[in-house]
Chain A
């Protein structure tokens, strides 16, 4: 089995990239692959705690399911700080990390990298 890294750069409510990321991650997990998700730029909002969309799918809940299935989720510290997202505002199970330590590790441990952005 392989490992897939998803680099997501769109925000949770910007477009359907977040939904695609969730579906892609679930499909990979279904097949027994490892999944790592790095949230970069606006993508950090995928892992923000307390999302409450009224009419759209709740990406936080979907991300929580992925984490419970073994997906590793890291959000970029610089990007989240730039957007006023404080330490502790990340959803449970996600960690705040960096390009240097975490995305680099993800890439070194992965067989495929998929970037989602518009």
Chain B
């Protein structure tokens, strides 16, 4: 195995397939056995994907929350920029297992990865 990939998700859940597609991409990489590591970073509007109370069934769309859970079930770390989430949703419950980090920690996280992609 070689290399690793950080998938940064900046798009909101629903309204476009971007966030879901990014999560699925990260999962596919994680289970490939070809890449040493895969992780997801939620930033900007993408932090809303971690909100526990979202109800995708209202829209008849696949659940981004379940997609995040699928990642963590496969030991893919999911990080969320706390300031970005608080700015958009205030104090809200997030999916268990999502790691909150400060915006000042993003640079260090990104620098740890061989490759970075954005959704």
Could you list which residues of chain A lie within 8 angstroms of chain B, going by C-beta atoms?
7, 9, 40-41, 78, 98-101, 103-105, 107-108, 110, 112-113, 115, 117
CA distance A28 to B87 in the complex (A): 41
Q: Which residue of B lies closest to A118 (CB)?
A: B18
Contacting residues, chain B, for A115 (C-beta < 8 A): 117-118
Q: How large is the interface on B (under 10, 10 to 19, 20 to 34, 35 or more residues)?
A: 20 to 34
The answer to whether B102 has its CB under 8 Å from any CB of chain A is no
Q: CB within 8 A of A113: which of B28, B31, B116?
A: B116
Report if A105-B18 is in contact (Cβ < 8 Å); known contacts: A99-B28, A99-B29, A117-B119.
Answer: no
The answer to whether B101 has its CB under 8 Å from any CB of chain A is no
Per DSSP, chain B at the interface is mixed
Q: CB within 8 A of A104: which of B21, B24, B35, B117?
A: B35
B21 touches A108 (CB 8 A): no
CA distance A107 to B21 in the complex (A): 17
The answer to whether B50 has its CB under 8 Å from any CB of chain A is no
The answer to whether B97 has its CB under 8 Å from any CB of chain A is no
Q: Which residue of B lies closest to A79 (CB)?
A: B21
CA distance A78 to B31 in the complex (A): 16
The answer to whether B25 has its CB under 8 Å from any CB of chain A is yes
The answer to whether B108 has its CB under 8 Å from any CB of chain A is no
CA distance A113 to B118 in the complex (A): 11
Q: Which residue of A lies closest to B32 (CB)?
A: A104
A103 touches B1 (CB 8 A): no
